[in-house]
Structure 1
Amino acid sequence: MSRIVFFLVPGVHLLDLAGPAQVFSTAADFGHPYTLTYVAERPEVPSAQGLPLVARTDWPALGPEDLVVVPGWRTGTLADSPAVADASLKALADHHARGGTVASVCAGAEALGRAGLLKGRRCTTHHDVQDELASRHPGAVVVRDVLFTADDRVITSAGIASGIDLALHLVAGRHGPAVAARVARDMVVYARRNGHEPQSSAMFRHRSHLDDTVHRVQDLIDTRFDQPLPLTGLAAAVGVSERTLTRLFGRATGLTPLRYQQTLRLERAEHLISHGATVDAAARSVGFEDARMLRRLRARRTPVSSVSSAANARSHSPSR
């Protein structure tokens, strides 16, 4: 079980807090055990929007699998940010030193900077205070105009709603993109990645259509892409013929259901390989009987940008 601790500072923005909290809470509803805890230096914390929040004042015991999130707060400049006690900054630094992950939303990056966690690391914050963050923490590598950055278990996001993107990124990293896509769909938000990167997951690229039948089939494939999924069963699950499903799926996504499933398998396998898995182990993990199919798919893989461009062209072509 992973504990998600939100460290609340006076003047906290509600969406900075509620966005990531909703992501992890929804993931917990889908069977991924997260415990959400709210910590502050005082038991009642005023929010920027006027709603008072209640928090505990003692830090729970944390392990390497746990996450601490610092939501941002209302401030004209980072220099005018609310004071954060040395003990709280030490708690942030100590958690990271023990192997844990620390994240921030918006102005929350200032607290990470004060805790010494931004030195030598890529980071970002709200565009209004990016220059000030770089000035106040010269050792930080401030990346502008991205939704979030991740560097050695220090994850920072831009303004307010980008905390949702940050949390979805973490869920995808821990549980796979299918879970992140399901959480995003349940929250009725876009499943986005970093602002300067392409929408590299097929789950995200091929979800911009409005065909509910195809979305339901994609839900089935997303959650069971590592299992055999005959077209007959998929069609029966949504109450249409195989021919109709193939036609609808192709019109909405530019792919057949099988090609979509293979794309998910390939992308998940690439993620596992990039994190140290062998090709054989990755192939088994994503449902291939042996590694030969995975090697063939990798050999003929189309660059993501080309696939995205082709899909976009199809989505804007008139129906025939």
Structure 2
Amino acid sequence: MTVHVAFLLVANLHLLDLAGPAQVFSTANDLGYGYRLSYVAETETILTAQGIPVRAQVRWPDLGPKDLVVVPGWSRSRPRQVPAIGPETARRLRCHHADGGSVASVCSGADALGAAGLLDGRRFTTHHDLAGELTVRYPRAKIVRDVLYVTDDRVITSAGIASGIDLALHLVAGDHGPAAAARVAREMVVYARRNGHEPQESVMLRHRDHLSDLSHRVQDVIDERYADRLPLGDLARRAGVSERTLTRAFTAATGLTPLRYQQLLRLERAEHLIGHGTTVEAAARAVGFDDARMLRRLRSRAGKPAEG
């Protein structure tokens, strides 16, 4: 069976929102999993946010219940008073879903699904910067914050930009099984297929919004070697400062001590491994703990299950 994936392109779209999932389905098809891709828009030429024009067909393809419509996101620089899609496009989306088909969005593409009425009464997610705006715009929908993607009654929404790859891999797994998605991810040299409940922002991103060069340099070391034993004295010597100066500067910049930052990196990586079937004991060893006791304590503080 071949699944027809139709990408609905909106003016000022982000290239990666389109190219990421398109590459997943194209690679899956190359590997024999049966996907056909097409591109539809309200005009034949769409100018992307990155300045590259792309071509699309204005006539919608014939789609069936097994087929999928994906709406990539677009730059928010476009005037907000301009509707994301016209009434005929909204009707097409509603009809496809009513006929048993699936619809998906990446980032601000959720706005188009909302305009079509497909978020009403359903859970959805989007880029964290858009969550508040879309919650106000579509009060009958329920936002799920800080996750990569959400599925609710054949309406699949994902967070920002690169999470479209995770969404597409998830859909390939639903069609052909996790091994097929893993094969596609490996072919694309994607580091790992992330689960939908994983956070949009990693520990590395959440604690990098500061201007301390010293702290950034030390974070670079910890990010690269989080599974190693990193005594404070060694980090201070690498940074060329005293332990006291390092601790004071790092804490002021990140809100964490270097040890706590390393622990959070280890915990985040361990949760990823556990979410993909690794035991707590094996995950603990993989991220640098001598045994699972410290990992269990950290998971307990974070409100995670005692066992994985």
Please tell me the TM-score bracket, short chain as reference. 0.5 to 0.7
- Take 1:150 and 1:177, find their aligned partners in 2: how far apart are those partners? 17
- 1:76 to partner: Cα distance: 4.5
Residue 286 of structure 2 is aligned to residue 315 of structure 1: yes
Residues 143, 158 of structure 1: CA spacing in aligned structure 2 closer, same or farther, 3 A cutoff?
Answer: same
- 1:309 to partner: Cα distance: 2.3
Runs of 4+ in 1 over 6 A off after TM superposition: 303-306
Given residue 283 of structure 2, which amino acid in structure 1 is its aligned partner? Answer: N
Tell me what 1:49 maps to: 50
Residues 76, 310 of structure 1: CA spacing in aligned structure 2 closer, same or farther, 3 A cutoff?
Answer: farther
Given residue 30 of structure 1, which amino acid in structure 2 is its aligned partner? Answer: L
- Take 2:14 and 2:72, find their aligned partners in 1: how far apart are those partners? 7
Residues 159, 318 of structure 1: CA spacing in aligned structure 2 closer, same or farther, 3 A cutoff?
Answer: closer
Q: 3-state DSSP class of the match of 1:150?
A: strand
Tell me what 1:193 maps to: 195
Tell me what 2:4 maps to: 3
- Structure 1 unaligned blocks of 5 or more: 198-302
Tell me what 1:162 maps to: 163
- 1:83 to partner: Cα distance: 4.0
- 1:195 to partner: Cα distance: 3.0
- Take 2:28 and 2:153, find their aligned partners in 1: how far apart are those partners? 24
Given residue 19 of structure 1, which amino acid in structure 2 is its aligned partner? Answer: G
Aligned residues: 214
What is the percentage of aligned positions where both structures have the same residue?
58
- Take 2:167 and 2:276, find their aligned partners in 1: how far apart are those partners? 23
Per-residue deviation, residues 114-137 of structure 1 (Å, max 9, x unmatched)? 000001101011111101111000
Residue 46 of structure 2 is aligned to residue 75 of structure 1: no
State whether residues 78 and 133 of structure 1, in contact with CA within 8 Å, keep that contact through their aligned partners in structure 2: no
Given residue 26 of structure 1, which amino acid in structure 2 is its aligned partner? Answer: T
Residue 140 of structure 2 is aligned to residue 135 of structure 1: no
State whether residues 2 and 35 of structure 1, in contact with CA within 8 Å, keep that contact through their aligned partners in structure 2: yes
| 1:169-208 alignment, distance < 5 Å | 169-189=170-190, 190-196=192-198
Tell me what 2:222 maps to: none
Residues 106, 306 of structure 1: CA spacing in aligned structure 2 closer, same or farther, 3 A cutoff?
Answer: closer
State whether residues 5 and 67 of structure 2, in contact with CA within 8 Å, keep that contact through their aligned partners in structure 1: yes
Q: 3-state DSSP class of the match of 2:80?
A: helix
State whether residues 44 and 53 of structure 1, in contact with CA within 8 Å, keep that contact through their aligned partners in structure 2: yes
- 1:314 to partner: Cα distance: 2.1
State whether residues 9 and 82 of structure 1, in contact with CA within 8 Å, keep that contact through their aligned partners in structure 2: no
Residues 182, 128 of structure 1: CA spacing in aligned structure 2 closer, same or farther, 3 A cutoff?
Answer: same
Given residue 127 of structure 1, which amino acid in structure 2 is its aligned partner? Answer: H
Residues 59, 12 of structure 1: CA spacing in aligned structure 2 closer, same or farther, 3 A cutoff?
Answer: same
Given residue 193 of structure 2, which amino acid in structure 1 is its aligned partner? Answer: A
Tell me what 1:113 maps to: 114
Tell me what 2:229 maps to: none
- Take 1:33 and 1:93, find their aligned partners in 2: how far apart are those partners? 25
Tell me what 1:125 maps to: 126
- 1:305 to partner: Cα distance: 9.0
Q: 3-state DSSP class of the match of 1:104?
A: strand
- Take 2:276 and 2:53, find their aligned partners in 1: how far apart are those partners? 46
State whether residues 78 and 129 of structure 1, in contact with CA within 8 Å, keep that contact through their aligned partners in structure 2: no
Structure with the larger helix share: 1
State whether residues 75 and 81 of structure 1, in contact with CA within 8 Å, keep that contact through their aligned partners in structure 2: no
Residues 312, 64 of structure 1: CA spacing in aligned structure 2 closer, same or farther, 3 A cutoff?
Answer: same
- Structure 2 unaligned blocks of 5 or more: 200-273, 291-308
Residues 312, 120 of structure 1: CA spacing in aligned structure 2 closer, same or farther, 3 A cutoff?
Answer: same
Tell me what 1:20 maps to: 21
Q: TM-score, normalised by structure 1?
A: 0.64
Residues 112, 304 of structure 1: CA spacing in aligned structure 2 closer, same or farther, 3 A cutoff?
Answer: closer
State whether residues 39 and 58 of structure 1, in contact with CA within 8 Å, keep that contact through their aligned partners in structure 2: yes
- 1:77 to partner: Cα distance: 8.0
Tell me what 1:292 maps to: none
Q: TM-score, normalised by structure 2?
A: 0.66
- Take 1:66 and 1:90, find their aligned partners in 2: how far apart are those partners? 17
- Take 2:289 and 2:149, find their aligned partners in 1: how far apart are those partners? 36
Given residue 195 of structure 1, which amino acid in structure 2 is its aligned partner? Answer: H
Per-residue deviation, residues 35-67 of structure 1 (Å, max 9, x unmatched)? 100001111000000000000000011000100
Residues 110, 193 of structure 1: CA spacing in aligned structure 2 closer, same or farther, 3 A cutoff?
Answer: same
